[in-house]
Structure 1
Amino acid sequence: MQQKQLEKIKNGKGFVAALDQSGGSTPKALAAYGISEDVYSNEDEMFDLVHEMRTRIITSPAFNSDKILGAILFEQTMDREIEGMYTGDYLAEKKGIVPFLKVDKGLAEESNGVQLMKPINDLEETLKRANERHIFGTKMRSVIKEANPEGIKAVVDQQFEIGKQIIAAGLVPIIEPEVDINSTEKEKCEELLKGETLRHLNNLGENEDVMLKLTIPTVTNTYKELIDHPKVIRVVALSGGYSTNVANEKLKLNDGLIASFSRALSQDLNAKQSDEEFDAALAEAVGSIYEASV
């Protein structure tokens, strides 16, 4: 299974869907979907509602392996079921879509123009569970806001250090050092990030391969060298707050870069839509993101 999934992620045509909004971003995700905060009275009810939303997306005929290679899940989603199967198994077996898991615990306070990840104290336990749930890979996000060499080095060092633990557990890490699209030094950040990332890639051992998830660069094809690197399975792009149309247009310009959008995927979906309307809106988003990725 793993080898087949690796082949799909490495060479398949399509994109990776991000369905991993976590605790902090869940109210926003639900509000965008037309469910306001007065509909639920506690966190459990909120997570039940967001699982219903994700289930509706994943079970939709528009969500299929013709255009979607993989899907990134939130930890709670991994532990929940869709039609009597764990979400990862449902994705892999019923949909032919490769399951990933978001493992970070959110961002630390800003320092040196960046936000590192908070410590992931239960990483080993989470990776063990991910393996039991047949998850293929993981994702973890840090954020770069200023072209501070020390800060950017710290972000990339932390990402690869944890990435190696994930590889040791038999999973494929998606390294995600996001550059804030509103940074006034975005282009400079991207140059520094590329340099640090290459340094780490060149030092990876045999069988230590990673994926990268990066903000669409200001200068087209900035990341071509990373995309072509023998240690990189695939480079995916985050939408970073750009609207679907803008993100798609920018993505199209970059050779070999494919999408891993979350907001752009679900921005036109609404709880009040009939199944026909919902499936049509999702199909349109999936189609446009696919086109931009291939």
Structure 2
Amino acid sequence: MQDKHLQNMKYGTGFIAALDQSGGSTPKALKLYGVTEDQYSNEDEMFDLVHEMRTRIITSPAFNSDYILGAILFEQTMDREIEGMHTADYLAEKKGIAPFLKVDKGLAEPENGVQLMKPMPDLDDLLKRANERHIFGTKMRSVIKEANAEGIKAVVDQQFEVAKQIIDAGLVPIIEPEVDIYSDDREKSEGMLHDELLDHLNQLGEKDYVMLKLSIPLVANTYRDLMDHPNVVRVVALSGGYSREDANEKLKHNDGLIASFSRALSADLNVDQSDEEFNEALKQAIESIYDASVNKE
């Protein structure tokens, strides 16, 4: 199954759905979905509600492998079931979609214009569980806020250090050093990030495969050459705070770059929609993101 997912991830047409809001961002995700904090009284109830939301998305007829190559899950989602199957098995077997797992524990405090990932002391155990749950790959996020050479190097150093641990566990890591779209020196940051990524890619072993998840660059096709690197399976883009319309428009100008959107995917979904309304809203979102990922200007 891993080889099949790898081939599809490298050559397939479509995009990756990001369904991995974690503890800190779950209340915001639920609020956007129309579930307010007074509708749950503890964390368990909150996670039950967000799993209901994700289950509704994943089981929708609109959510299928004609448009979607992979889906990124939160740890709790990996451990839960959909229609009697573990979520990753449901995605792979019922939908033909590769399951990914968010493995980072959130962001450290800002330093040198960036936010590194918090330590992940239990990563080996988590990767072992991910393999047991038939996860294909992982995702981990850092943030770059300023064009600080020391900070950007630290972000990429950390990402690739952890990526090697993930590769050794037999999984494909998505490396996500997000550049804040509101930063004043964003173009400079993206140029520096490009060079650091290329340098680190060139140091990987022949069979060390990674994916990159990057902010849609200010200068179109900034990362185009990275897509052709022999160690890169795919380069995907986060929406980064853009509306779906804006993110799609910017994505279209970047050859080979496909979406991995979260908020931009689920923004029009609401708990009070009928199944027909929900499925139609999801279908429209999925088709528009697919179109921006596949049809370039």
**Shorter-chain TM-score range:** over 0.9
Q: Which amino acid aligns with 1:62?
A: A
- Equivalent position of 2:31 in the other structure: 31
- Equivalent position of 2:119 in the other structure: 119
TM-superposition CA deviations, 1:43-78 (whole Å, max 9, x none): 000000000000000000000000000000000000
Q: Which amino acid aligns with 1:47?
A: F
- Equivalent position of 2:287 in the other structure: 287
Q: Which amino acid aligns with 2:190?
A: E
- TM-score of the superposition, structure 2-length normalised? 0.99
TM-superposition CA deviations, 1:227-273 (whole Å, max 9, x none): 11111000000000000000000000000000000000000000000
Deviation at residue 206 of structure 1 after TM alignment: 1.7
- Equivalent position of 1:257 in the other structure: 257
Q: Which amino acid aligns with 1:221?
A: N
- Equivalent position of 2:149 in the other structure: 149
CA distance in 1, matches of 2:155, 2:239: 20
SS at match of 2:182: coil
CA distance in 2, matches of 1:277, 1:221: 36
- Equivalent position of 2:72 in the other structure: 72
TM-superposition CA deviations, 1:76-115 (whole Å, max 9, x none): 0000000000000000000000000000000000000000
User: Aligned runs of 1:196-207 on 2, under 5 Å?
Assistant: 196-207=196-207
- Equivalent position of 1:235 in the other structure: 235
> Given the alignment of the two structures, is residue 274 of structure 1 paired with residue 274 of structure 2, yes or no?
yes
Runs of 4+ aligned residues of structure 1 deviating over 4 Å after TM superposition are: none
CA distance in 2, matches of 1:53, 1:210: 29
SS at match of 1:41: coil
SS at match of 1:23: coil
Deviation at residue 121 of structure 1 after TM alignment: 1.1
User: Aligned runs of 1:184-199 on 2, under 5 Å?
Assistant: 184-199=184-199
User: Aligned runs of 1:60-209 on 2, under 5 Å?
Assistant: 60-209=60-209
CA distance in 2, matches of 1:129, 1:44: 21
Q: Which amino acid aligns with 2:106?
A: G
TM-superposition CA deviations, 1:111-143 (whole Å, max 9, x none): 000000000111000000000000000000000
CA distance in 1, matches of 2:53, 2:209: 33
Q: Which amino acid aligns with 2:164?
A: K
SS at match of 1:24: coil
CA distance in 1, matches of 2:227, 2:189: 18
- The percent identity for this pair of structures is 78
Deviation at residue 209 of structure 1 after TM alignment: 1.1
- TM-score of the superposition, structure 1-length normalised? 1.00
Can you give the 5+ residue segments of structure 1 that lack an aligned partner in the other structure?
A: none
Quick check: 45-54 or 201-210, which moved more?
A: 201-210
Deviation at residue 17 of structure 1 after TM alignment: 0.2
TM-superposition CA deviations, 1:129-181 (whole Å, max 9, x none): 00000000000000000000000000000000000000000000000000001
Q: Which amino acid aligns with 2:22?
A: S
Provide the aligned length of Structure 1 versus Structure 2: 294
Q: Which amino acid aligns with 2:240?
A: G
- Equivalent position of 1:48 in the other structure: 48
CA distance in 2, matches of 1:120, 1:60: 34
Q: Which amino acid aligns with 2:102?
A: K
Q: Which amino acid aligns with 1:229?
A: H
Q: Which amino acid aligns with 1:120?
A: M
Report the RMSD for the aligned CA atoms in angstroms: 0.3
Quick check: 101-110 or 224-233, which moved more?
A: 224-233
